[in-house]
Amino acid sequence: MSEPDCSAPVVLVAREPKRAALADAVSQLGYAVNCFDPDQPDALMLLPEQLAAAWLVELAEESALTDWLLEYSQAPVLLGVGQIPQRDSEDYPRCLRRLYAKLAGLVGESPRGKPELHRLFDVPLDVGSPGIPSASCVWVLAASLGGPAAVKAFLDHLPASLPLALVYAQHIDAGFEQQLPQIVGRHNQWHIHTCVPERPLYHGEVLVVPVDQRLRFTPEGRVRLSPEAWPGPYQPSIAAVIDEVSQVFAPACGAIVFSGMGEDGVDACTRLRDQGMPVWTQNAESAACATMPEAVRQAGVCSLQGTPEQLAAAMQHWMKQESVAAP
């Protein structure tokens, strides 16, 4: 990738009304901005002709435009910044600060310099979740039939050195739960273990969700186990796991839905995406059973699809984006 042309605009690939909100936010930060309509005729042919210092892509579904940019763009690509709050919201300055940190890390400071958002909006910027380390990042890996092989392939291609913890929710009989760490942990450096009460999550590890106990987290991110049954027909409940992780670790979280049967987790993925957090799925071609990831895709909340190996590469790209916004 070549050095970004700081005189070129930041180009937004998004639909209304989010495109207008993003354009307004990027403009307030002092960057030149252009908008690219993903639904225009011959969009894929026109994309390479667009001059860009960086691409900001905010699409709710997988797209050939995203695939092309990730593979061929010489300018950096920023995938999704989540929901832009209303301008009178207390969250708006914090959202702009995070967006500025990402853009500045990719293309340098804006021509106007770093904006003093607290003066512009008279709202305190640092209103974090108490007890949750700002560097923590937790993603849910959700799977059912065919899941262990897919999750193993994903972990085999994902460096365990990333500042990332994973929570693995696998539909499985209770008798096989203890075998999962050995099955998916061969040939990679991830530390994969079952739940230990009061233990926090650490980077470089995968927590296997229990079948016969309900997993919860304290406000500080420590494991809590409850004897109450999982809601719904599946154990563990993927929906309940996603909701629990998002409640405690948002906004530094996301979910990947791998091979599986049923539609467990679709509603929770919708809630996650509505909060501006990423939801990815394994593609149908590589899944032993595509029912579960396809249900999420058909709900319109999947922003990226791919093989386990492609998802691992995308995760590394996403983590690099997040690192430029870390305090």
Identical fold between 10-121 and 138-323 = yes
Q: What class, spelled out in words, does domain 138-323 have in CATH?
A: alpha beta
Is the CB of residue 258 less than 8 Å from the CB of residue 288?
no
Q: What class, spelled out in words, does domain 10-121 have in CATH?
A: alpha beta
Q: Which of 136, 264, 286, 303 is catalytic?
A: 264
Q: In the prediction, which pLDDT does 94 show?
A: 77
Q: Does 171 participate in catalysis according to the annotation?
A: yes
Q: Does 144 participate in catalysis according to the annotation?
A: yes
- Once rounded to an integer, what is the mean pLDDT over residues 168-176? 88
- The strand pairing partners of 132, in sequence order, are none
Closest to 101 in 3D by CA, of 112, 114, 89, 84? 114
Higher pLDDT: 98 or 235? It is 235
pLDDT in tens, 290-305: 999 999 999 999 999 9
Q: Which of 63, 110, 136, 144 is catalytic?
A: 144
Encoded tokens for 288: 């032993």
pTM: 0.63
Q: How far is CA 91 from CA 13, 114, 129, 244, in A?
A: 23, 19, 13, 22
Q: In the prediction, which pLDDT does 9 show?
A: 86
Q: In the prediction, which pLDDT does 124 show?
A: 35
Is the CB of residue 303 less than 8 Å from the CB of residue 273?
yes
Instruction: For residue 107, give the 3-state DSSP assignment.
Output: helix
ω before 197 within 30° of 0 (cis)?
A: no
Q: How far apart are CA 200 and CA 294, in angstroms?
A: 33
Q: Does 73 participate in catalysis according to the annotation?
A: no
Q: In the prediction, which pLDDT does 63 show?
A: 84
Q: What is the mean pLDDT of the chain?
A: 85
DSSP 278-306: -EEEE-TTT-S--HHHHHHHHTT---EEE
pLDDT in tens, 143-170: 999 999 999 999 999 998 898 999 999 9
Q: Which of 171, 237, 246, 286 is catalytic?
A: 171
pLDDT in tens, 252-300: 899 999 999 999 999 999 999 999 899 999 999 999 999 999 999 999 9
Does 221 score more than 60 pLDDT?
yes
Spans of all domains in the chain:
10-121, 138-323
Model confidence band, residue 216 (pLDDT cutoffs 50, 70, 90): very high
Buried b (16+ CB within 10 A) or exposed e, 182-206: eebbeebebebeebeeeeebebebb
